[in-house]
A and B are shown apart, each in its own frame.
Chain A
Amino acid sequence: MRALDRTRFGVALGNWFGKARQMLKRLSITRFKSVRDQQLEFGRVNLFIGGNGTGKSSLLEAIGLTSACLGRGLGDSDISQKGLRLTPPELMKSSFKNESLPKTLELDACFSNGLDYKVVLQSNARDPLLSIFSESCYSQTHKIFGRSNRGASATGVSHATRLEKNRGIWDQIKATYEIAPEIDQEFSEFARYVIYTPQTDFLRGKQAGRVDVPPVGLHGEGLPQAVSTFLETYAAHRRSTRGRTPTAAWNILDACVRLVWLPGWASTFGTHVAKPLLTSRDVVDRASETVYFLDRFMHGSRNRLSVYDSSEGSLFLLFAAIILSHPLSPKVFALDNVDNALNPKLTRKLVETIIEVCSRSQNQSSDVGAKQVFLTSHNPTALDAFDIFDDDQRVFVVRRNDKGHTVADRLTQPKGASREDWELMKAGRNLSQLWLDGDIPGALGNI
């Protein structure tokens, strides 16, 4: 049994170390679903807002598809493990009225260390999977690898072995050629990108499923095991930082644990194997370890609440804490509907923590903590966590233009406006208020 008591935490502030700024800087998307042609410049934390059906999730999927090309490939299981919808390949390509488009879709990803990866994907009506038509990777002007219908090469050497058409070249050659470790690290981290869409039934244990990308499934599968190992990590860091300057990793773990306390009713959370008679018959696996919370307002003899009986918001925050700071979590990921089950204030607090974690993780070179996160939200208070003057924090308003193409515009202050100027211009209102008042063009959709 592992547990964490809120009274044991102190405030911790970290040191700032050198910056290692690895991340996806830019993605050009051409002919993918409703995205006809878009180039997005990303920050460390990126939030997509806009009406329903405008293409926010498609943008997350475009990143996922790029990641799949640098990961295990385009097979159904590879795609679904990333949280992408198993859309038939023909429907992955854009289709618009009165537009005759090439039969391919293109993704061009530029990373902060100068790597530029471009892939062209194709499918025919009878193909069950997308396949790779061509791909290339350059570091500045130096070609790292590439493939086309004329053959493949890596590090300047022709690659003689036949390549699988549904897998990217990187995953097939990386063990064979000597490639700079920073490239390997960048691609390996990005290849683990997934889209999390937590669902209450999985978090509560009413539904079970596989954990394809540790530590936790995309919908919350395997949460008890993830919490258990998270608490082990937390305990180890607490021991190692006792009496010393807190490390970046500790600060990140601490910030994430604080998320769980935010609703204010729980005094402890942990994992244990509950007595079957004290476990709901609705829970799929009643014999294994499960997550519990102690309610600080209930009598000590009957204050242990299983995930089945706990607040949905607390579960969601626990899930967020895990994906943000578990050592096994992907460093680059998306969280679709970050406001899921949360009240407006908690939504803002969660997004603030995400921004804090990404900043600490990157700026303090921590091996714990997310490095780049992509979010969607329909809750205006998510915006209030963002400082749009900071290039690391970016909000995109996603809409469909008059042709139906998805367009994503970055929310920025008017050109040349200082913080003070802008404060006067927006009459001291928060971004959330501007959104609700319809003052952010396109953010309320076309209703």
Chain B
Amino acid sequence: METYRAPWGISEMHIGVVCEGPTDYPAIICFFGEALKARDINATFNALFPEMDRTRPEAGWANVLLWLKNNPPAKRIQQYFGGGLFGGNLSGEQYDAIIIHLDTDIIEHESFINFARESYNYNISTGGDCEARAAEISAVIQIAADFNSMTQRDQSRHVPTPAVESTENWCVAAFHGQPENFELIRGNELTNRFMAALEMSESRSPQDQYTNVDKDNNRRKRFCERHAGGASRVISGCKQFASALDKLAAIQPTPS
């Protein structure tokens, strides 16, 4: 696979992350962090979510889309790219890019389809191959983020990052040595292969079948940190991950 290296030689990059939930965050920072390092980019990450109350769902597409709604372009651009919401020494952290993540496994969810139609007047096309599913999620992110109101430069600093079908696919790819199109794994197979990887990573014997994916944050964080070195396998086995990586690496540094 051809590797894209930024011609202006960014060596440091500060990236904000808006993702579905706490188990996605370590996958994003570990695999993108390692993949960027391989391109001589030392990336640091920060979750942009405020602390949620205990009533809200821990994860989900609604968290991302509502965050975009509550943080419209003028605010996002000023706060994260444009010097902060306050003057003087209270300008806050400045970012080179924001990763906006959604899993593609939500495409068939009725609530998501209805939300996209009612909120954005957008009809989701269900089914499709990996590329089409990623394109569909990217389109929703672009509408939700109001790309049309942004300059090209600000658009490029918002990086829609669809995980096909979810960040668990990246984890499976990072764990396994054999080349494969990991974005094709779905449903029960994904649950079983991810859980098996998780158990084996902790030197446990995997079961034949699993009902659910373990969403324990600490366990996921340990897994992602341990297998961050497998980022190259994520790149080769998850094309949409590689595409988002290229977009990230192509971003010019924010003038300081």
Residues on A close to B: CB < 8 A?
397, 407, 409-415, 417, 422, 424-427, 434, 436-442
Q: Which A residues are CB-close (under 8 A) to B88?
A: 409-410, 412
Q: Which B residues are CB-close (under 8 A) to A439?
A: 50, 79, 85, 92
**Given A409-B90, A413-B86, A441-B91, are A426 and B50 neighbors across the interface (CB < 8 Å)?**
no
Closest residue of chain B to A423, judged by CB? B74
Q: Is the CB of B87 within 8 A of A415?
A: yes
Closest residue of chain A to B78, judged by CB? A425
Q: Would you give the shortest CB distance from B95 to chain A, in whole angstroms?
A: 14
Q: Which A residues are CB-close (under 8 A) to B93?
A: 441
- CA distance in complex: A414, B74 (Å): 13
Q: Which of B51, B74, B90 sits near A425, CB closer than 8 Å?
A: B74
Closest residue of chain B to A424, judged by CB? B74
- Mark contacts of B74-102 with chain A using CB atoms, 8 A cut-off: 1 yes-contact digit, 0 otherwise: 11001100011111111111000000000
B9: interface (CB < 8 Å): no
The main secondary structure of chain A at its interface with chain B is loop
Q: Which B residues are CB-close (under 8 A) to A397?
A: 90
Q: Which of B71, B78, B83, B90 sits near A440, CB closer than 8 Å?
A: B90
Q: Is the CB of B86 within 8 A of A411?
A: yes
Q: Which B residues are CB-close (under 8 A) to A410?
A: 88, 90
Q: Would you give the shortest CB distance from B64 to chain A, in whole angstroms?
A: 16
Q: Is the CB of B74 within 8 A of A412?
A: no
- CA distance in complex: A413, B87 (Å): 5
Interface footprint category on B: 20 to 34
27-80 of chain B: CB within 8 A of chain A: 50-51, 70-72, 74-75, 78-79
- Chain A to chain B contacts (Cβ below 8 Å), 6 pairs: A414-B83, A414-B85, A425-B74, A425-B75, A436-B50, A440-B86
- CA distance in complex: A394, B54 (Å): 33
Q: Is the CB of B85 within 8 A of A425?
A: yes
Q: Which of A411, A413, A425, A436 sits near B79, CB closer than 8 Å?
A: A425
- CA distance in complex: A407, B89 (Å): 10
**Given A414-B78, A427-B70, A427-B72, are A438 and B50 neighbors across the interface (CB < 8 Å)?**
yes
Q: Would you give the shortest CB distance from A439 to chain B, in whole angstroms?
A: 6
Q: Which B residues are CB-close (under 8 A) to A425?
A: 74-75, 78-79, 85
Q: Which A residues are CB-close (under 8 A) to B70?
A: 427
Q: Would you give the shortest CB distance from B247 to chain A, in whole angstroms?
A: 25
Q: Which A residues are CB-close (under 8 A) to B89?
A: 407, 409
Q: Would you give the shortest CB distance from B70 to chain A, in whole angstroms?
A: 7
Q: Is the CB of A424 within 8 A of B50?
A: no
- CA distance in complex: A397, B92 (Å): 12
Q: Is the CB of B50 within 8 A of A441?
A: no
Closest residue of chain B to A422, judged by CB? B85
Q: Which B residues are CB-close (under 8 A) to A411?
A: 86, 90
- CA distance in complex: A425, B72 (Å): 9
Q: Is the CB of A412 within 8 A of B86?
A: yes
With A397-B90, A439-B50, A442-B90 already in contact, 19 other A-B pairs whose C-beta atoms are closer than 8 Å: A409-B90, A411-B90, A412-B88, A413-B87, A414-B86, A414-B91, A415-B87, A422-B85, A424-B75, A425-B78, A425-B85, A426-B75, A436-B50, A438-B51, A440-B85, A440-B86, A441-B86, A441-B90, A441-B93
Q: Would you give the shortest CB distance from A437 to chain B, in whole angstroms?
A: 4
Q: Would you give the shortest CB distance from B99 to chain A, in whole angstroms?
A: 18
Q: Is the CB of A437 within 8 A of B50?
A: yes
Q: Would you give the shortest CB distance from A384 to chain B, in whole angstroms?
A: 15
Q: Would you give the shortest CB distance from B201 to chain A, in whole angstroms?
A: 31
Closest residue of chain B to A397, judged by CB? B90
Q: Would you give the shortest CB distance from A397 to chain B, in whole angstroms?
A: 6
Q: Would you give the shortest CB distance from B47 to chain A, in whole angstroms?
A: 10
- CA distance in complex: A193, B103 (Å): 59
- CA distance in complex: A436, B75 (Å): 16
